[in-house]
Amino acid sequence: MKRKKFRTTIAAPRERVWQVLWNDETYRKWTAVFMEGSWADTDWQEGSQVLFLNADGEGMIARIAENKPNEFMGIEHLGVVKDGKTDMESEELQGWIGARENYTLEELGDQTELIVEMDITEAYLDYFIKVWPQALQKVKSLCEN
């Protein structure tokens, strides 16, 4: 697994970027870049479970490992939801259970540097290298308009 870093500078304060990232309405908009109909079932509180789901109710199970409002969100991936069942133990998951997805917001005067670090398996490396910049562009657009 490789940890990759993606970043963008946004002409908005950290509070605005944080709201766009984690508010249900805007979260659905920027994550649609990964899969149309994506949404998250969580309260975003540290220690809480997160279900990252598609329109069919399938997706990933994770945990909010760390939440420092307007500064940092750390997510730990734990398993998948498929055919209405959770899987946190199967052989095929062992390569990425515990993978981290971290969001850091750094203040740069009146702008915000958004840095996303993600542990990615070889199988999905090309996909995320292509799609993360598109997702960050969508976040930037939502924040600045």
Per the CB < 8 A criterion, the answer to whether 134 and 47 are in contact is no
The CA-to-CA distance between both ends of the chain, in Å, stands at: 36
Q: How high is the pLDDT of residue 48? A: 98
Instruction: Specify the DSSP class assigned to residue 80.
Output: E
pTM of the predicted protein model:
0.94
Per the CB < 8 A criterion, the answer to whether 139 and 29 are in contact is no
Run of H or E including 142: helix 122-144
Residues 54-70, mean pLDDT to the nearest whole number = 95
Q: How high is the pLDDT of residue 94? A: 77
Per the CB < 8 A criterion, the answer to whether 28 and 132 are in contact is no
Encode pLDDT of 11-48 as tens digits.
999 999 999 999 999 999 999 999 999 999 999 999 99
Of 79, 51, 76, the residue nearest 63 (C-alpha): 76
Of 43, 44, 61, the residue nearest 52 (C-alpha): 61
CA 25 – CA 62 distance, rounded (Å): 20
CA 90 – CA 73 distance, rounded (Å): 27
Encode pLDDT of 75-128 as tens digits.
999 999 888 888 888 877 777 889 999 999 999 999 999 999 999 999 899 999
- Kindly list the structural domains of the chain, giving each domain's residue range(s) and its CATH number in brackets, ordered by start: 2-144 (3.30.530.20)
- CA 101 from chain centre, in angstroms, equals 6
Q: How high is the pLDDT of residue 83? A: 86
Q: How high is the pLDDT of residue 91? A: 77
Sign of CA dihedral 124, 125, 130, 135: positive
Residues 48-61, mean pLDDT to the nearest whole number = 93
